[in-house]
Structure 1
Amino acid sequence: MEQTGTSSPQTRNVPPGRVGFPALGMPDYADCYAIVVDNLYSRPTLSAILAEAERQPWKFAQINSGTEVYTVPDYRNGDRIIHDSFELSEQIFAKLRPHLSAIEEIEERVYDPAIRGTAIQKWRMVRLNERLRFLRYPKGGFFKIHEVPYLAFFSSNPYAL
């Protein structure tokens, strides 16, 4: 069945809940975390959120690489609005947070030069990034598989997770 712009149990490729990347043929992402949450917002609420974002025009979604920006339609073919809103990001986070308990706090073992050994570093989710992206793709539009490098912003801003 052809995937359309709407999501229903008959047309969707990924069911609600945690995404099982290996089962979807993406074993390289087995240790990654993504979830699908259905019906988080009503249609009227979504329409209001989109109307707020659409006060800005849709622009062709470009590729950012460090300090350079490129338009590459054979790599990314779609439109984007970048909408900065602390208020909206807080509202979205409040709605999503109950679904994120598995990753609310993450521990990792890191090398600590002060002790010349490893130590546990904890990351705690405190808010969403206020720079929200709204994406829209035409029929046949795409964004090819890619890796997003860690940005210096994330390592220097404890609120960016």
Structure 2
Amino acid sequence: MKYILFILFTVLTNAAAQVMLKQGMLSLGPLSFTADTVIARIFQVVFNPWVFAGLATFVISMVSHLYVLSKVELSFAYPFLSLAYVAVAVFAYFVFKEDLNAWRIAGIGFICVGTILIAQSGMSSHDDQPSIEASGAKTAKIGSAS
């Protein structure tokens, strides 16, 4: 559980990236590609300040997630990413005035309950788990003969 803050940072940066990407695409309008404008349009999208910030935030989120994966089991860390759905729905409601109806709220509730159950399943087993190296397991070096 001591890595939960890093996991939540990953979730929040992932959700923030989605919001930035949406804002960028709203500022660009609907996309249409033709054979002679496809490259120019791709550059226009990627270098839109909001889209660029969203992509950069995704990189930060991925680096954080890689750190988390180096510390805890994948089956523990990955389900927490579903909380990004919750954060995005809340941000979209407040920032973009998107609908947050009863079905979406129920889905958010299920996601939260599932994440809590997964968190409870790893409360003690993940903090005290020795790393592979500490347990005496040998690692093979790439390119060396065994």
Relative to the length of structure 2, the TM-score reads 0.23
Structure number with the higher helix fraction is 2
Relative contact order, higher structure (CA 8 A, sep 6+): 2
**Larger gyration radius, structure 1 or structure 2:** 2
